[in-house]
């Protein structure tokens, strides 16, 4: 019998705050230009994108504010919040740039994940929610939770 590979979750870091603060319209998958120590640290699940954002400059996309915890046993100088280049093709960059020029649209990272042996970043075009939209989101989430609880109680009896 051969060894079975254990199925691991491909998600590294998720930006749940972005889904609450923004209404997501389009999603794109981009590669990341990383250094060796960053990849090793990400393998240990020491990356956060909660405070990160995407900056479009000179026809390139940059991930700013992504925190990757530096390795402890290294002589290298490591900057945990350095700007990292997002690898997208020209067509996708043009679409994102065109969309962000429109009023109210922004580009945010939503997720870091593994795709085979590569680290990818899911970025999304989004429109900021108003405070009353956020209240509606909270109400609908609470109502869904209450419905699920009532259904569980009915099925028990």
148: part of which helix (H) or strand (E)?
Answer: helix 131-156
| Farthest CA pair distance, the chain | 63
At 18-59, the pLDDT tens digits run 787 888 888 999 998 888 888 888 888 888 888 888 888 888
Per-residue pLDDT, 29: 92
| Token duo for residue 16 | 């749940």
pLDDT band with cut points at 50, 70 and 90 for residue 7:
very low
Mean pLDDT of 100-122: 87
22: part of which helix (H) or strand (E)?
Answer: strand 22-32
Domain boundaries, the chain: 11-129
CATH number for the domain formed by residue range(s) 11-129: 2.40.280.10
């Amino acid at each position: 019998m051969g060894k079975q590979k254990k199925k691991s979750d491909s998600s590294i870091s998720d930006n749940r705050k972005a889904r609450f603060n923004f209404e997501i319209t389009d999603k794109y998958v981009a590669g990341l230009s990383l250094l060796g120590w960053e990849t090793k640290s990400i393998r240990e699940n020491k990356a956060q994108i909660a405070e990160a954002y995407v900056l479009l400059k000179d026809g390139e996309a940059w991930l700013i504010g992504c925190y990757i915890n530096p390795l402890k046993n290294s002589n290298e100088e490591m900057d945990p919040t350095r700007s990292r280049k997002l690898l997208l093709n020209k067509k996708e960059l043009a679409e994102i740039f065109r969309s962000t020029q429109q009023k109210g649209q922004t580009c945010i990272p939503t997720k870091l994940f593994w795709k085979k042996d590569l680290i990818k970043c899911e970025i999304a075009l989004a429109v900021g929610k108003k405070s009353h939209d956020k209240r509606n989101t909270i109400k609908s989430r609470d109502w869904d939770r209450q419905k699920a609880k009532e259904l569980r109680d009915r099925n028990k009896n």
